[in-house]
Structure 1
Amino acid sequence: MMAPQINGDAEFWHARSELTYIHDYARACQVSLWALLSVVLARVCATVPPHVMTQPLYGNAPGTLNLFVAVLGGSGDGKGLTERMARTLLPDIRNATTALPVSGEGIPALFATRETQEEDGRRTVIRCVNPRALLSVPEITALGGSAKRIGSTLIPTLTSAYSGEALGGFNKNEANRLTVPEHGYRIALITGVQPHNLNVIMDEEGTGLPQRFLWADTADYDAPEKVPPMPTGRLGFDVSALPEDMPNSGLDALYEAGDRWRMIDHGEANYPLTILRYPQSAFTAAEKDGWERLHRARQNPLDAHRIGLTVKIAGLLALLSRPDSLTVTEEDWALAEYVYRRSAEFRDKAIRQFEDIKRNLKAQAYALDSEARDEADARRMNRIKTVTLKWLDEHDPGREGVVGHEISRARGRDSKHGMVYAALESLYVEGKVDKVGGGPTPQSTLWAVSAR
């Protein structure tokens, strides 16, 4: 059975009870529907154990549910309020570490630590301190500031974390050497993005960072003027119904091995993976995307991670609705495709707004620059007129006249671009110099200080 089509927001929000509840809750709290849903999905992501993976759509490598969310809006537009409402709506995130990322090296430290073995005080072993983290960046400029520090690995680490790849690197000092293995951590990130700061994230298009985000806007132009009542009951998402976390012994064994492949029976013995199964529509979409990728036929480079992000959204929507199930349905996939479509619309609209802001700033800068040049030219002309008048008065006391090209040559640098001749013409109009003979051009005219 192929995935049903979702036709419009109304059909999406009424497709199932959890979505309707989020819709009604957002309206009652006066926050954006799409922003609240996106943050809720990030919190759902944080609750899912890291050994729960998505079914491979390309090859045979399972994928991760790790999710990044960008909430668009200006200062005071409700980004912080949306996060608070999402916490109220879904408070239990299974003790996920909540932090603001400041460096690439700091991210592995959210999940791993090194401990000294009791029997051998000289040897340390790596251990898992927490398999999950929810990173909150109130404003994207904080992330950009950290990323621009010399030698920063923050952006490459984040892109690796989104894909569920191993984190950390080699350090000569073993005590500072922290690595987090693939399949061994869950991470979600939420950041606020003001339109005029969009370049902080869009400048990383080459690294693939903006392509990895689920985008949502804090605006809701269909929100009613009269605030509706709070919906009754609860969201219906039961965290306890999700697959249980792996025992600490299994996580520690994975962290110490550094790679599931190096574990006993390649991890099947004490760190088996749990796979979310996807419908045929997901495979069909992946095949089409693969063809477009190989043929360089994608219409928008920012959609390079469309399938991977849709896979994550579909899995999280499935778990939000049925936390005790490991099957993603055709409806889940259709809903996820619609979420991605709306995300791309929010992203593209923000880019257009940013381009408008850039054009306006350039226009203002050009106007200011033009005004400054005009003022500088006027001041220079006034100075040349003053010194030219003074020179004539000193060198032609009898008012017999001095030919224009001699006056210009005597003024040296001021003579460039005909400025002295323009000054003489202006002084003549003002009645401060007279033309007492000579030829028809300013260069050949005899000029004298006016007797008037």
Structure 2
Amino acid sequence: MSAAESTTSHGFSQEELDRVTAQQGLVREHLDARRPLIANWIERFENDGDDTIIQLVSSWKAPVTRAWQQLTADAVDLDELAQRVASTANWGLHLGASRRVAWDADNADGTAAFNAAGVHVHIVSPGSLHPQHDHAGGCTALHRLPHWVPDVRLTGPTTAVTLANGGKVDVLAGHHQVVLPLSVVTYRDLDGYTGSYMTGSGAGYCAAERDGWLLEDQGESLELPLWALSAEILAYAPEGTVVGEPPAGLEALAGTVSIWRQAEKKTYTSGEGSDELTEAIGELDLLTMLEEAGVAGERRGFFTCGPCENWLRAGSDAEKSITVHDCGEHGRWVQVWTTGIPTLPQGGHSRLDAFIGLTGRDIAEHRGAEMARLGLVKPRDFGGVTAEGLEDEADELEARAAAGETTVPGPPAPAGADIVYVEVGVDGLLQRAQRCREAAAVMTANQPAATPMSDATFISEVMIGMETAEEDEGAADRAVNDNTDDEDKPDNGNGAPDKGDASDGADDEPEVEPARVVREYAGTPPREKEILQYPMPDIPAHVQPVAGATTSWREVLPPLANFRTHDFVAHEWIFSATPGLSHVAAAADARGVTRWGLLGGLLPRVAGAIPSAVRLVPPAAEGYEDDGSDDTSEDGEGEGTSINVYSVLVGGPSSGKTNTMTAAAGLIPSAVAGVRTLPPGTGEGLLKEFPRPYAADDDGGSPADAGAPTIGSVGGDGSSILLESDEIDIFVGEMMRQGSRTSGWYRSMWMGGEVGNTVSDKDRRSFIAAHSYRFGILLGAQPDAVVPLFAENGRGTPQRFVWLPAQQSVRRGTYPRRLKTAEVHWFGAGPSMIPGSVPRPPVWISPPAAATEQLERDRWRAASSDPTAVAKEADRAEAIASRHAVLNQLKISVLLAALDGLAQPQDTHWFAAGAVMEVRREMISRLVAETDEAKAEGKRVEGAYNGIARASSDAAREAERDHHVARCAAKIMKALVADAAEGKRARTYQAAIRVLSGKKLASGRSDRELYGRAALAAVQASPSVIDDGTYVRFDGTKKAA
């Protein structure tokens, strides 16, 4: 078999290919049997009018249309589809467009549960009728959605639901399709088993009265039971709707149909975070390239995630060999499903690597040459060592070998010493030449072209930030400008024009700086270094206006975003949903910082201005029983949850974290809020900063510790402290100090708990009663500095922080120096008659009605959790984002209500706080990914340094190996010469290698094992040796060069 044949067939025998051809005869029999039935099914679909029928590939069940998820019933020509099905095509039902949900029983136990519950049956696959199929005994039941369910994309669990009897059921909705009866499929993994999809009664799974299609023909709607819908969807049900309970055996299917939301992970968009080489590789048309290269295979429709095409190599028994992704979820990756391709392992690959592997070549060896062949890269110098220089060196080595030279210079000798030459033989010189050429190819392949992208599309030239003259006479000076007077003076990074370098070439192309113009969003996310203005997102329909707010409204400008904050724009509706947040947006715009960052900086200060007696009602308050007592002297002592808030503003170096914190401090100064700000320090030192509850200690008459202020001595009652630092390293450094109890105290203080210590030395005692203080934390953090705090995941420390992005932005509009939100009179509008040394009675904050469902769900999660479970490393992002999330959202809703001048949060504040939590969740996900990447990069750098350290020893080892290879090659050549002299026939490759000693050396391996292949290769390269592909022999009539 020639190399070309093995490349295109991947080793499949003609017998295997003939078997595949024979299967086509079975397919034709089923196709002939279904043709008379097609008209009846078309009539059924036309009478229904609501179902969207799509074409599937012949003999299998994947859609043939690239964007099949966007198809609707109006876009489908049933007559044309009938003609294709009458030929060889299959068909399927688009669940989302048809407003259907499918219960797909994966096994016989699932079907048994359906039968016991009286569930109808629509479809039975051929695989279900085969005892060796993975889903033998399964079936599919279709349901219609109630009319009041909104037209949104729905989804089910990502894995099969396990029923009480062990049955497995996939709940399918939205972008899923089910194969319809009459479709003919061939299961290659079942030795070519071929069959047709059937109705429930046609397959004998049920009687006619339970056949779903026949029931629909009789006018039955077969709506999805309401108990299968999530609470989020049931909120749309008409008032008085009875949900009902699931029948016995199907309880696990309750609430499994929900509204689909984009997965909380980075989506891949062309141009986002990728260089030009990555983009170019992603543009390769892999399947066309395979066809042009003669690789045998066929296109097999599209995968469920988007316009992602499947491909099946010739002779394979699988349903697909690869999927070429081109979607927002997977980018332009190639997923290899099979393990049967020797040169392309199972898993994910770039389109370039997949092409190399599918053409039967080693990926690492041929990647550089293939990139050069496709024009993806161009050569570039490596600091004096160039690809051309290596090629020249290879030419020189080959010329010396042809001239009969056999030595190379040895290791560098001391000054004045003679140069030592090492004997490597002709073959050693040729091997060195080959390595030079390989290095040149790798050097060339690793150089991406550095031409700037020029395909940016700008829809509008609107300049953002230009106020009118009446608003601000100096607005023009603050407008974001395009190139002006310094057009020919590029910035050197220090704010001054670069003077250039005298050695710079006159014909060097200057770097093109993007125009600093904010343009309107036109449907395409911003590129790197771009800022776009977006339309103001609509306030969701379920969010009602705030009632009774005393804070006045401010005008809210359209949001701005860059290529990384683009994902947060959808949540900016909150800034136009409440009057308090409209002030936050206006203040952030006027100070040139992002709204999310300023909100994060204000939250701890808003909380710090609220008296410590204000707290959330105890979770167990509804279970209290009135005992008739009138004693309220200790009413609520220690009960409830504090509204203390911790914030972290995340941003890169010099990006605006400190500016944001300074802006927040200016809007709510510490003196105005009655808050003292402190830098990070020891936990003991922090506790002593809080006032003692009494002026004397336990012994009576002794003065209180002079280092601890008494109530009322500092800023109000002195019980409100904000720990603030724009560098998280300082905070974490003290918190992680060995033996420090600071971390545990911070966690308790977030809840408002009692903290302190009891020691024999009264000067070292510290104690703070529960809910007698207000404490907040505000930190600035660079992404790579959060690793130590994330390491506290198992203890619940990072879960207590609100992680929000903070950076500079375009300055727009004006706003007063102080935050102009209304004051909240927590104890009434009149002056208090309670002395400052007497604790206030609690002021209880109740959760809004909209929070009830989430609070109950959170309680259920906690009640059903494993009390001994330890958070797993792989679940860090989810654990940090989800634990304490409900309580954090409730605290934020209280603070948002306070910005509106309200003492109690409303549903609107709860929903707005939920949007803040969504931004927090995305930030946590990104930070976990960034920290993981930083760890991986550290390992790679460490490996690179280790590689350099090993380079010198590798050189010595190579010289030693070259010597032994030459020695063994001489021994093989001697044997071949002897064979020729005695008239013996040629030796096989293995026989030639067996000339070498098989005795184990000190290394534990023999000459035969260590050098056999390399020595044989050296012999094969000799001009006096004839190699016919299997045998080698010495030809005495030929002369060595």
Give the distance between the partners of 2:1004 and 2:942, measured in 1 at CA.
27
* Partner of residue 317, structure 1: 896
* Partner of residue 69, structure 1: 647
* Partner of residue 363, structure 1: 940
Q: Does 1:216 align with 2:789?
A: no
Tell me the amino acid that sits aligned with residue 25 of structure 1: A
Q: Does 1:283 align with 2:845?
A: no
Point out the structure with the larger helix share.
Answer: 1
Which of these residues, 88, 103, 107, is aligned with residue 686 of structure 2? 107
List aligned pairs for 1:12-31, cutoff 5 A: 12-31=574-593
List aligned pairs for 1:247-266, cutoff 5 A: 247-251=835-839
- Kept in 2, the 8 Å contact 1:44–1:93? The answer is no
Q: Does 1:295 align with 2:855?
A: no
Tell me the SS of whatever aligns to 1:146: helix
List aligned pairs for 1:49-448, cutoff 5 A: 49-59=611-621, 61-91=639-669, 92-113=671-692, 116=696, 121=701, 128=711, 130-219=718-807, 227-231=811-815, 235-239=819-823, 241-243=825-827, 247-251=835-839, 271-296=840-865, 300-302=878-880, 303-322=882-901, 325-379=902-956
Deviation at 1:320, TM superposition (A): 1.2
- Kept in 2, the 8 Å contact 1:112–1:179? The answer is no
Tell me the SS of whatever aligns to 2:615: strand
Tell me the amino acid that sits aligned with residue 907 of structure 2: E
Distance 1:205 1:123, change over 3 A: same
Tell me the SS of whatever aligns to 1:81: helix
Deviation at 1:334, TM superposition (A): 1.1
Q: Percent of aligned pairs with the same residue?
A: 23
Distance 1:365 1:56, change over 3 A: same
Tell me the amino acid that sits aligned with residue 175 of structure 1: D
Tell me the amino acid that sits aligned with residue 906 of structure 2: T
Distance 1:8 1:57, change over 3 A: farther
Tell me the amino acid that sits aligned with residue 319 of structure 1: A
Give the distance between the partners of 2:826 and 2:771, measured in 1 at CA.
17
Give the distance between the partners of 1:309 and 1:276, measured in 2 at CA.
14
Give the distance between the partners of 1:418 and 1:104, measured in 2 at CA.
65
Distance 1:205 1:93, change over 3 A: farther
Partner deviation per Cα, 1:329-357 (whole Å, 9 max, x = no partner)? 11111111111111111121222222222
TM-score, normalized by length of structure 2?
A: 0.34
Give the distance between the partners of 1:165 and 1:32, measured in 2 at CA.
33
Distance 1:418 1:153, change over 3 A: farther
- Kept in 2, the 8 Å contact 1:140–1:200? The answer is no
Partner deviation per Cα, 1:55-107 (whole Å, 9 max, x = no partner)? 23455641111000011112211111101111222225433221123112122
Deviation at 1:13, TM superposition (A): 1.1
Q: Does 1:35 align with 2:597?
A: yes
Give the distance between the partners of 2:608 and 2:679, measured in 1 at CA.
15
- Kept in 1, the 8 Å contact 2:826–2:843? The answer is no
Structure 1 residue runs without a partner (length 5+): 252-270, 387-403, 430-452
Partner deviation per Cα, 1:268-303 (whole Å, 9 max, x = no partner)? xxx311112322222221101111222339993221
Partner deviation per Cα, 1:194-247 (whole Å, 9 max, x = no partner)? 111121110000110111111111247xx55xx322136963324574548974
Tell me the amino acid that sits aligned with residue 721 of structure 2: A
Give the distance between the partners of 2:927 and 2:543, measured in 1 at CA.
26
- Kept in 2, the 8 Å contact 1:57–1:282? The answer is no
Give the distance between the partners of 2:1005 and 2:591, measured in 1 at CA.
67
Tell me the amino acid that sits aligned with residue 667 of structure 2: L
Structure possessing the higher radius of gyration over alpha carbons: 2
Deviation at 1:54, TM superposition (A): 1.3
Q: Does 1:4 align with 2:542?
A: yes
Tell me the amino acid that sits aligned with residue 355 of structure 1: D
Tell me the SS of whatever aligns to 2:573: helix
Tell me the amino acid that sits aligned with residue 583 of structure 2: Y
- Kept in 1, the 8 Å contact 2:644–2:752? The answer is yes
Give the distance between the partners of 1:42 and 1:366, measured in 2 at CA.
43
* Partner of residue 512, structure 2: none
Deviation at 1:368, TM superposition (A): 2.4
TM-score, normalized by length of structure 1?
A: 0.74
- Kept in 1, the 8 Å contact 2:617–2:641? The answer is yes
- Kept in 1, the 8 Å contact 2:753–2:769? The answer is yes
- Kept in 1, the 8 Å contact 2:824–2:898? The answer is no
Distance 1:143 1:208, change over 3 A: same
Distance 1:367 1:307, change over 3 A: same
- Kept in 2, the 8 Å contact 1:4–1:330? The answer is no
Give the distance between the partners of 1:75 and 1:99, measured in 2 at CA.
23
Give the distance between the partners of 1:349 and 1:118, measured in 2 at CA.
51
* Partner of residue 395, structure 1: none
Deviation at 1:120, TM superposition (A): 5.0
- Kept in 2, the 8 Å contact 1:101–1:143? The answer is yes
- Kept in 2, the 8 Å contact 1:70–1:216? The answer is yes
Deviation at 1:8, TM superposition (A): 3.0
Distance 1:30 1:180, change over 3 A: same
Tell me the SS of whatever aligns to 2:724: strand
- Kept in 2, the 8 Å contact 1:318–1:328? The answer is yes
Tell me the SS of whatever aligns to 1:183: coil
* Partner of residue 390, structure 1: none
Tell me the amino acid that sits aligned with residue 236 of structure 1: K
Tell me the SS of whatever aligns to 2:768: coil
Tell me the amino acid that sits aligned with residue 90 of structure 1: I
Considering Cα pairs closer than 8 Å and 6+ residues apart, tell me whether 1 or 2 has the greater RCO. Answer: 1
Tell me the amino acid that sits aligned with residue 954 of structure 2: D
- Kept in 2, the 8 Å contact 1:44–1:316? The answer is yes
Tell me the SS of whatever aligns to 2:844: strand
Tell me the SS of whatever aligns to 2:647: strand
